[in-house]
Structure 1
Amino acid sequence: MTMRSRLFPARLVYPVVACCALQLGVAHAAINEFKVKDIRVEGLRRTEAGTVFSYLPVRVGDTFNDEVAVKAIRSLYATGFFDDVKISAKDDVLIVTVVERPAIASVDFNGTKEFDKDTLKNALKGIGISESKIFDRSLLDKAEQELKKQYLARGKYGAQVQTEVKPLPRNRVAITFNVEEGETASIKQLKIIGAKTFKTQDLLDEFQLGTHTWTSWYTKNDQYSRQKLSGDLERLRSFYLNRGYADFSIENTQVQISPNKQDVYITISIKEGDKFKFGKVQLSGDMLDRQKELESLLTIKPGETFNGEQLSDSTKAIQDDLGNYGYAFANANVIPDIDRDTHEVNINIVVDPGKRVYVRRMNIGGNTRTKDEVIRREFRQFESAWYDARKIQLSKERVDKLDYFKDVKVDTQPVPGTSDQVDVNFEVEEKPTGNLLLGAGISSTDALILSAAIQQQNLFGTGKTVGLELNTSKVNRTISFNETDPYFTIDGVSRSFNIYDRQTDASQLNLGNYKIGTTGAGVSFGFPITEYERLSFGTSYEGTNLSVDATSPARYQNYVQQFGNSTYAILLNAGYQLDTRDSAIAPTRGHLRRLSADLATPLGQQEFLKTTYQEQVYFPLSKKYTLALNGEITSGFGFGGKPYPIFRNVYAGGIGSVRGYRASSLGPVDADGVPTGGAKRLIGNAEFYFPLPGLKKDRTFRAFTFLDAGNVYQSNEKISLGQLRYSTGFGISWTSPVGPLKFSLGFPLNTKPTDDIQRIQFTIGTGF
């Protein structure tokens, strides 16, 4: 028995296929129904035959008829694997003949400058266009629209996309998207209608978007983005809510684009409403017998101006506090009652702690290189313990501070089938931790600096750090090797050792014609006291060589005559550090305290004690402004009948101490007027940071004003505040790709005739 060689071509629309099947069924199929003895699939190249069988609604031994044929064609065509499907039969053998759709061999882009190709490829993956996937021509329109959408987000409204599909051998295709990006549309007008209480410019200062300014090349603030506008509208809403306008609303937002698609006009209509105060403030719900503790977390008080941010902070503080006791999914829901007659907002915060839960697993993902134990030893939340939000946040901070990862994300998921267990999932994204750095820098003190460094912060994923550094300038030349094991013991005791050779040419600093060479090696151990405090102890050897001639300062010639050109010291080192800063490079809050002591023991030729104490405090005056205070005092003296070594003297003046005075120029001078430095130093700095006009909240590029004070004193002098030199001025701080950069213009306030003034100073890589 033989059926038609082509019963139902799949390219027919389904209703037509069904109709044809019924007509043919009357003529033949109703008479020629048969039991399937075997099924054969023809035309396959990539697709497995088993895949086809899994979609067929018929098996060997089943009765085949027109209705089954329609179902089979529909099912196979719906897979998206095939361009055509034909079904025929011969001697009760069902023959399925398919024409496979081609596979995508490559996806490429021409003319793309705004995006890197990987970003665009990832955008197309979501709609089914990517390498190795089955090619579906109907998706090309969606792909083009998706690419245009990406460009619209960058303000390129004139972007055009054309697609080229090139057939390749073995039933494959290469897809190329040819893009004409066009010019970026810029915001020509940003207008707010309805503002009565506040100046329009004050409101626009809250926006990321804006019209073109001199900093637009850096901030891109004049490039329209729907996402940025949404964020700006939220900031505008918060601005009013935080100042008492509880009825504030945004009535309408219009975005118009010029016919040439180059200019954008934004108009925002608002309704301010009346100003409100907080009325009654109360907590209700299940407070777990901790009502007084939760009430103490409220920062809102009756009679105060309504403030949405304070209200949000209060509810978050309650939720976080409950999270510290195991209530991972606690809620503090605000129920406001607006009384427009009295202009008060009564607040009822309903507390719902939910069920107390404990952590079943602490999972780690994304670490393709770093060993699990390197991450896990930073955890402060333990498995099988009650959920503690503080410990989880602290764990995240500690993992982030390792500086091995681009990003660290934490997600808490309920365990299926239970109501009192959660899994805490840490997802990290590795970043390169091995660096080969070749660079050049310049400062007003050291002039040209050439540097090279090889450093691996996470050797073989173990968390150990090794490094080799070369640094050269007219003043200082250094070569050093260091190794640090942050977990030399399992309880967090670190071990570090280093070997170094330093050469200093004092003539380049106008300190006299002499050179100091220092070679040393040391080992130290660090002991954690708390999460933010550490003690360190170590020992080191340091040999010093003084090169002098007849033109060198007399004090150096005398030292060489008394002790020789070369001396050495056996040092004991001790230190303490407290660091709660939110950033080591551009901090805005927190505290840094350092105390160190170097004792040269009688085992060497030098005998002295040098101590340094430093305090830094950062006060966030607002989201834009930061006040930073720094104080440092250093004192050294010799013992055992030996003087304090003159080559260990400290200096002041310049960036890092007192700006406006030439580097290392303050303090005592010799008979030739050359600064000698001293065994004691007192430094004080105050800096007020604020955003540059047009850069707003960019922490990497900030301006500052400063007030400095400081001086150095000889070992036999008492520190006298009356001898302090003062200066003030302003500058710019930039976290550049090559390190923190500071530029300052200083104005000394109480100069003496012997002082050496240098108003403009700059450097890369220093703090205060």
Structure 2
Amino acid sequence: MSLRPNLSFTKCALPVLFAALLAPGLANAFAPFVVRDIRVDGIQRVDAGTIFSYLPVKVGEQFTDAQASAAIQRLYASGLFNDVKIDAQGNVLVVTVKERPTIAAVSFNGMHEFDIKAITKSLSQVGFGQGSVFDKSLLDRAEFEIKQQYLSKGKYAVEINPIITPLPRNRVGVSFDIFEGDLAKIRQISIVGNKAFSEGTLLDQLQLTTPGVMTWYTGTDKYSREKLEGDVERLRSYYLDRGYLEYSAEAPQVTISPDRRDIFITLTIHEGKPYKLTSVKLAGDLLGLNDKIQKLVTIKSGETFSAAKTNATAKAITDYLGSLGYAFANVNPNPVLDREKHEADLTFYVDPGRRVYVRRIQIGGNTRTRDEVIRREMRQQEAAWYDSTSIKASRDRIDRLGYFNDINVHNVPVAGSPDQVDIDVDVKEKPTGLVNLGVGYGTTDKVMLSAGISQDNAFGSGDSLSLQVNTSAINRAAVISHTNPYWTKDGISKTTSLYYNRTTPYTFGGATGTYAVTAIGAGLNFGIPISEYDRIFSGVSFERNSINLLDTPPQAYRDFVDAYGSKTNSFIFNLGWSKDTRDSAVAPTKGNYTKLSGNVSTMDLRYYMLSAQEQYYLPLGRSFTLAFNGLYDWGKTYGGSGKPFPIIKDVYAGGIGSVRGFEGASIGPRDTATNDYLGGSQRVVGTVQLYLPFPGASRDRTLRWFVFADAGKVSNTDGTCATGPISGPVEDPCGWRYSTGVGFSWQSPLGPLQLSYGRALNAKQGDNRQSFQFQIGTGF
């Protein structure tokens, strides 16, 4: 038996194309034969049937040299083999293959800039990952993709070294050793072609900067491709907002120093000339609402063209039509240019589309919160006309619940029904149970602790349960409360509470408390919604107070016992109103919160206390928020008994939450015998706070730092003001106190965190200062 010539092809020797070109030459030396059997050698993981599927011949068919060349090409092109040989032994076709190894695992050493799981997933999508066939070309591509990710972050000094480790059963492990290096810093930004505005003015519009005093903190001198693209768009917006309709820019030129540490950026722009508007018109289908839509046009003829005003007008018209049910309204502003006169005619083309109604509202992402808790906040109803105003109000109401970190409300067209949409409400839940821990440090009282446990969304029902425990050295308190925000379907809320409070107030000089006040009570309160944002609340509580005077108690508490006795009982009725238009309960950026309330006590304690609170949030651009907070309390006795306002109902100020920079509760009258903090029946507190974004935390809107200024005073409505003992009086304790400082706040996974450092601006003789304050809540 004679052996026919052997045909083989090895990847490392020749490419596929060369194998195809080689085949005709081999055909002359290859005698055709009829295949009696096919044998496959060398396979380990690949099924023999897979190889048969690539062969152009079957048993019983004639096999030629052309088919041999085609078989080699097909098997090699499958990517499964490093080497392929075809032999003929008699009438038996023998296919010998050498399989490529598979990737057993992919690992990364030294990667800190990116999430390893995300990078692994992205590489697997391009065919490089665990279980894939190992291919040197795919390895090169994976290395290139990883490097591109680092370059987009400005890390030009990155070094990537892939290490291939052979493993049993023809497998390999792939490990990427990565040296990330430092971010390349921007040494120079040049703008070429500007005439109307100075380079300094244009550079002020950019987020990227050259190194400066604060860039160690802001990081704006570190190059990022995404930030550069954003800056190019900012320049474009700057010119368009000032009428430069022919503005254009060339692609930015970015060069890097040989040591890959310094970046040089050149922006080449073409300004053109500013355009004035000769006319502003509406066109298209205005639905007979010409007058109402015309009122929404804020840009007028005779003005210089402004892209910001134009876009705001288009959005206002779109939102207005959306409130009428036109969910897919399109408003297209089109300026027609007269280049000789540098004038433009601006026309808003309005296409309302079809009016649609909402087929269904779908809730997603709530693994714990019940659907009904979210649905009852929806102001857009199913089977009703689409209303963008109601949808926005619904989103804000859901956000004000405080149960979610992120809320996304969007409409989805219904396939085959052009007049229907579905509303998808996707939420991302956050921990709503808190173990609150409070820590304060003062010049005299040293460390103070408090704690509490609460669940704002108990069992996903929307109900609130809480147990608050104060564990400070001067106070022991426990409050158990339950709130059902939808006690009735109309949204009337009900709150029931039981509380216990035992106070051994601070004594000046660090001595042991010389008296104790114990209060035990229960309350029932209702909240009645009267509009989308307004609520009236009322209720009653019963309270029993007892005072135990020890050695040398404060004179003010001895006077209280003389006037009211050591034990008192009272019913306290409350009535109030609140209005909440804030866009978020977690991290408000706009809107306000107003509350007015009054308490009237009967039986043994006859007094009333009127209170007012106002919070206002003013957005300053997209990243800054200016917040104002004011608080006022005013109390007095009634009934003509001549008794003083009950000291156990005094209000206090100082410390975190009021006037930072001063020790907690220290502002106001002092006892004439012991110098204890007494509080007062009148309190005024005001705060101005500027929230600033935290560098590198753009995805977390709750992570912010702030600068603040506080002012406050505590006094008595009868005009009296105890200044403390003669031996060490406090200078003007009932006067205004001011402070300023910086702070940091974050809704962390463990709960709300706030840290502040305040400095008293006008501390008087005898005042106790408290600079550093810290508060954290632990989520569960």
Per-residue CA distance 1:9-37 (angstroms, 9 max, x = gap) = 79685556656777888888965268x9x
My pick for the range that moved more, 695-704 or 333-342, is: 695-704
1:468 is displaced (CA, Å) by 4.6
SS in 1 for 2:408: strand
Structure 1 residue 713 corresponds to structure 2 residue 690: no
> Is the Cα contact below 8 Å between 1:110 and 1:177 reproduced in 2?
yes
> Is the Cα contact below 8 Å between 2:518 and 2:545 reproduced in 1?
yes
> Is the Cα contact below 8 Å between 2:217 and 2:695 reproduced in 1?
no
Name the residue aligned to 1:396.
395
Superposition pairs for residues 164-175 of structure 1, below 5 Å?
164-169=163-168, 171-175=170-174
1:678 is displaced (CA, Å) by 3.1
**CA–CA separation in structure 1 for the residues paired with 2:324 and 2:693:** 43
Structure 1 residue 555 corresponds to structure 2 residue 556: yes
CA 1:76–1:701 in 2, change beyond 3 Å: closer, same or farther? same
Name the residue aligned to 1:159.
158
Superposition pairs for residues 454-465 of structure 1, below 5 Å?
454-465=453-464
1:180 is displaced (CA, Å) by 1.0
1:143 is displaced (CA, Å) by 1.6
Name the residue aligned to 1:278.
277
The aligned amino acid for 2:269 is I
Structure 1 residue 734 corresponds to structure 2 residue 735: no
> Is the Cα contact below 8 Å between 1:486 and 1:493 reproduced in 2?
yes
SS in 2 for 1:297: coil
Name the residue aligned to 1:231.
230
SS in 1 for 2:252: strand
**CA–CA separation in structure 1 for the residues paired with 2:761 and 2:548:** 36
Determine what percentage of the aligned residue pairs are the same residue: 42
> Is the Cα contact below 8 Å between 2:578 and 2:595 reproduced in 1?
yes
Name the residue aligned to 1:680.
682
Structure 1 residue 647 corresponds to structure 2 residue 648: yes
Superposition pairs for residues 39-54 of structure 1, below 5 Å?
none
1:157 is displaced (CA, Å) by 0.7
**CA–CA separation in structure 1 for the residues paired with 2:364 and 2:596:** 39
Name the residue aligned to 2:205.
206
CA 1:155–1:424 in 2, change beyond 3 Å: closer, same or farther? same
**CA–CA separation in structure 2 for the residues paired with 1:274 and 1:60:** 75
Greater relative contact order (CA < 8 Å, ≥ 6 in sequence): 2
Per-residue CA distance 1:304-348 (angstroms, 9 max, x = gap) = 333211111111111122222222222111111233554433211
1:231 is displaced (CA, Å) by 0.8
**CA–CA separation in structure 2 for the residues paired with 1:62 and 1:403:** 75
Per-residue CA distance 1:667-709 (angstroms, 9 max, x = gap) = 666655766433333x363637486999999996566575846
1:246 is displaced (CA, Å) by 3.4
**CA–CA separation in structure 1 for the residues paired with 2:144 and 2:173:** 19
My pick for the range that moved more, 194-203 or 329-338, is: 194-203
Structure 1 residue 613 corresponds to structure 2 residue 615: no
1:297 is displaced (CA, Å) by 1.2
SS in 2 for 1:581: coil
1:589 is displaced (CA, Å) by 2.4
**CA–CA separation in structure 2 for the residues paired with 1:530 and 1:4:** 95
CA 1:311–1:111 in 2, change beyond 3 Å: closer, same or farther? same
Per-residue CA distance 1:164-191 (angstroms, 9 max, x = gap) = 2333445544321101112221122233
**CA–CA separation in structure 1 for the residues paired with 2:720 and 2:409:** 56
Name the residue aligned to 1:414.
413
My pick for the range that moved more, 365-374 or 508-517, is: 508-517
Unaligned runs of 5+ residues in structure 1 are none
Per-residue CA distance 1:644-680 (angstroms, 9 max, x = gap) = 4311112356665567877656666665576643333
**CA–CA separation in structure 2 for the residues paired with 1:731 and 1:740:** 13
**CA–CA separation in structure 2 for the residues paired with 1:731 and 1:685:** 14
> Is the Cα contact below 8 Å between 1:451 and 1:472 reproduced in 2?
yes
Per-residue CA distance 1:708-742 (angstroms, 9 max, x = gap) = 46553336899xxxx99556665434325663444
Superposition pairs for residues 262-661 of structure 1, below 5 Å?
262-434=261-433, 440-442=439-441, 447-452=446-451, 454-474=453-473, 476-489=475-488, 491-507=490-506, 514-584=515-585, 587-602=588-603, 605-620=604-619, 628-638=627-637, 644-652=645-653
1:158 is displaced (CA, Å) by 0.9
> Is the Cα contact below 8 Å between 2:360 and 2:382 reproduced in 1?
yes
**CA–CA separation in structure 2 for the residues paired with 1:42 and 1:431:** 58
**CA–CA separation in structure 2 for the residues paired with 1:510 and 1:332:** 71
My pick for the range that moved more, 78-87 or 111-120, is: 78-87
SS in 1 for 2:447: strand
**CA–CA separation in structure 2 for the residues paired with 1:463 and 1:620:** 30
How many pairs align? 751
The aligned amino acid for 1:293 is K
1:145 is displaced (CA, Å) by 1.6
My pick for the range that moved more, 427-436 or 108-117, is: 427-436
SS in 1 for 2:418: coil
> Is the Cα contact below 8 Å between 2:740 and 2:759 reproduced in 1?
yes
Per-residue CA distance 1:111-169 (angstroms, 9 max, x = gap) = 22333433433443443334455544432112212222222233221110111233344
SS in 2 for 1:265: strand
My pick for the range that moved more, 184-193 or 631-640, is: 631-640
1:238 is displaced (CA, Å) by 1.9
1:534 is displaced (CA, Å) by 3.2
**CA–CA separation in structure 1 for the residues paired with 2:759 and 2:569:** 41
**CA–CA separation in structure 2 for the residues paired with 1:360 and 1:119:** 36
The aligned amino acid for 1:549 is L
**CA–CA separation in structure 2 for the residues paired with 1:626 and 1:597:** 31
Name the residue aligned to 1:254.
253
**CA–CA separation in structure 2 for the residues paired with 1:458 and 1:6:** 77
> Is the Cα contact below 8 Å between 2:87 and 2:93 reproduced in 1?
yes
CA 1:728–1:14 in 2, change beyond 3 Å: closer, same or farther? same
